Structures are given as structure tokens and as C-alpha cells.
Amino acid sequence: MAIQDIYPTALRLLGRPVLVVGGGPVAQRRAKGLLDAGAKVTVVAPVASETLRGLADAGLLTWEPREYRTSDLDGVWFVQTATGTSAVDTQVAADAEAQRIWCVNASDHEASAAWTPAVAVVDDVKIAINAGGDPRRAMALRNAVATALETGDLPLRRHRKPGAGGSVALVGGGPGDSGLITVRGRRLLGQADVVVADRLGPRELLKELAPDVRVIEVGKTPGHHPVPQLEINRILVDEALQGNRVVRLKGGDPYVLGRGGEEAEFCRQNGVEVEVVSGVTSAISVPAAAGIPVTHRGLAKGFSVVTGHEELSEVPARPDHTVVLLMGVAQLRESAAALAGSGLPLGTPVGIVENGYLPEQRVTIGTLGTIADQAEAVGVANPAVIVIGDVVRVSPFAPQHFKTADYSTITPNRPRVRSN
């Protein structure tokens, strides 16, 4: 049978009687698929698998423990043969053909009046693929298409809006590189009707949206909030109540200094369904882009994340406790002085990572006593993450004199002298 002979369609078998002839693994698989479609399934086979017997015992299908009879086709809408015996499958197919009943013949796909495609379901989309009678080829193609839909590489967006109200997804986009958004976040972005976008985050992904997807810019810069938070909250709710799928695309993680909790609460208070998709927070990922771990055996067992606008008096003032400052460039000098006043040694290493993971990434490394002057000299600007603590010594960007001791990852808390 040539591929041109196939006319793709889908059967709606809800409540309709169907027949499966055979009781082995193939019959079991097909019977379960037919049950999922809502069909009334009868299995005819002298011996049935344990799973099929269990389905019969549960009243989900009928099992006739005997050989096939032509009369089994009476009143049937659809037939699947799966006996493993070519002669029996051929006879069932011939009887079905005589009664003009569609039949899938598992023993001979070329002679089969119908083919069962490889199927996957993503949300409410069902993918069905035939591949010239080659089931493994069909499954490989099905898996590839399903993965592309799951990851947002293929459009899963609805163009006919459902009758129910819309929804809001608070999506953490990560530090800016489009490859660091989660699979779930990318998928929801591909389904969006409206995207409410921050200044930071994976901006390149906005270029991949369909032309009719509306992008509402609400980005903030330090000291400049053109769209107040209350207005952002209102936009999310208003758009969702119009039936739109709304994605609030944020940099980093929505719940790490991102005001995502406020947005989620406002949506719920106004009867809007909201989903929160965690993102790769810049507090950890941007230091990692410069080779700085926020914890490291022998150097630091814990870390604190604060903004440069927060009081630092309660942060442990020790080089072995990492301090990560977000949005801290403007008050770097004051923050350094506050930490020094709390007892943190002026020789404590400090690293500043600007535009983490982006082509213009830049790393500036100094000490608590020198970093403010260094930052002013080179013109450090947001977006930037500031890391304070001995973990900065691990960075490949650190000056050589910072690396006089390399801490062991085998024996905890025991310095190992570098050999040159």
C-alpha cells in the first residue's frame, strides 16, 4: 500500500462497540487506547494477558475466552486484530471487509484496511503519525514532534479561544540567555495570547512570538518604574478576564525579589487562575557564569541573597558566608562600608558580574576595601550581581594572588597548597 493511498482521519468511538481479537501485548496496548477513546471494548482470545484480565475483572471491557467467530463482528464499528497468527488475522480482516467494517490487521499492514498511527497527547492536542507502515519510524517521529511541542519549538497556541476565562502564568525566564528558560516556561510562552514582559529575562524569545501576540512592556530600571506594580497587577487580571492566556515573563525567578507573590495573590483575589513557573535565579546562575559558586567545600557552607537597598546588619559578616547583592550597584560603596562596619575584613574578595551569560558579560574582581573604586573606574552598571566572600577565589577570573590556596573537595575544610 503506497502512502498516497492513506486518507488521514480520526475516529470518534465514544460509546461505540469495538472488537479486539487477540490477548497478547499488542492487543493489550490497542485495547487500552480504545478504552481511552471511550469505546466499548470486547476482547476475544482463548488466553489474555494479566492486564487484560484485570480490565475485564474491573468491568472496563468484556473478555470472551475462546476462538474468534464471524458473528463477533455483528454490530461492531471497528476491529483490531492482534492474535500473532497470520491466518486468524487475515480471516478477521476478510470478514470485516465483507461487512464494510474498518479493520486494522496487525499481521499485514499492506493488506490492512486501516492503520493505527503512533500517538502522543500534549495538552489537548493529539498527534498521530503514520510512517509508511514502519511503526518504529512512526514512534521516533511522534516523539520528536511531541518534544518540540513540549519545549515550545512548535506552536501550541490556540487561535480559537475556549469559552472559559483566561489564565496567567508567572514565568521565570532566567538571567537573560534564551537557553536558560525552563521547558515549561518556554511552552507556556508559545501558547500565550499576551506577554507582559520585564526589561530583563530572555528578550530574544519575544522575537519568536506570532505576529498577533501582544507584548506589553512593563520593564523597570533602578529608580525608574514607568508602569507601577499595581498597574501591572491590573493588566494581568484585565487581560485574563478577557479570555486571554497571559504570560508574565520575568527575569530570574518570579519569587526571588521579583514581586511574583504579589502578582499571584492579586490574580487569585480577582478569580483568575494563576500558575507559577520557577526560573533560574540570577542570584546563583550569574555568579556561576563567572565561575563563582555561592557555596564551596572548605570556603562557604551558606549564602544570603539581599538587594543593595536592604540593611546588611543581620547578614553574617564572615568571608565563609557568601553574600549575594542584587540591584546593588548604585549603593555598592555604602553596602561595602556597612559590611566592613559589621566586622567583615576589608580583604574579603568581591566579584561583580555584569550581563551574565550574555555576549557583553564582564567580570570585575577586587576586595571589600577596593571594589567600590574599581567599579566606578570601569563604569560598572546594572544588570549586575555582586558576590562577596571567599568563594570568589574559585573564579577563573580572580587574580593570581587570590588563589594562593586551593581548597580540597575531598577533605572538607582543609586547604591544599597549589603547586606551580
Catalytic residue among 220, 238, 320, 406: 220
Q: How far apart are CA 262 and CA 45, in angstroms?
A: 60
CATH tag, 3-116: 3.40.50.720
Q: Which of 7-21, 154-168, 194-208, 381-395 has the lowest mean pLDDT?
A: 154-168
Q: What is the mean pLDDT of residues 218-227?
A: 72
Q: What is the mean pLDDT of residues 114-136?
A: 78
CB 270 within 8 A of CB 237: yes
Model confidence at 225, pLDDT cuts 50, 70, 90, reads low
What's residue 121's pLDDT? 81
Catalytic residue among 198, 250, 253, 390: 198
What's residue 164's pLDDT? 63
Report whether pLDDT(2) > 70.
Answer: no
| 220 annotated active-site | yes
Helix axes 50-57, 25-36, angle to 10 degrees: 40
Average pLDDT, rounded, for the chain = 87
Cell of 267: 490574580
| Residue indicated by cell numbers 492536542 | 125
Model confidence at 114, pLDDT cuts 50, 70, 90, reads confident
What's residue 192's pLDDT? 92
| 198 annotated active-site | yes
Q: How far apart are CA 400 and CA 196, in angstroms?
A: 45
- CB burial of 47-83 (b: ≥16 within 10 Å; e: otherwise) equals ebbeebeebbeeeebebbeeebeeebbeebebbbbbb
Q: Which of 58-72, 122-136, 404-418 has the lowest mean pLDDT?
A: 404-418
Domain borders along the chain are: 3-116, 167-280, 284-417
Measured CA angle at 306 (ends 303, 307), to 5 deg = 150
Domain at 167-280: CATH architecture: 3-Layer(aba) Sandwich (3.40)
Q: How far apart are CA 371 and CA 349, in angstroms?
A: 9
Q: Which residue has the higher pLDDT, 119 or 63?
A: 63
DSSP-derived secondary structure for 116-163: PPEEEEETTEEEEE--TT-HHHHHHHHHHHHHHHHTTSS----SS--S
Report whether pLDDT(354) > 70.
Answer: yes
How is residue 179 annotated by DSSP? G
Report whether pLDDT(135) > 70.
Answer: yes
Model pLDDT for residues 17-60, shown as the tens digit of each residue: 999 999 999 999 999 999 999 999 999 999 999 999 999 999 99
| Residue indicated by cell numbers 559558586 | 293
Q: What is the mean pLDDT of residues 249-253?
A: 93
CATH fold, domain 284-417, is 3.30.950
Residues 6+ apart with CB under 8 A from 405: 393, 415, 416, 417, 418
Model pLDDT for residues 159-196, shown as the tens digit of each residue: 666 556 799 999 999 998 888 999 899 989 988 999 99
What's residue 4's pLDDT? 59
CB 83 within 8 A of CB 20: no
What's residue 163's pLDDT? 56
What's residue 414's pLDDT? 47
What's residue 126's pLDDT? 80
Report whether pLDDT(132) > 90.
Answer: no
What's residue 3's pLDDT? 52
What's residue 222's pLDDT? 60
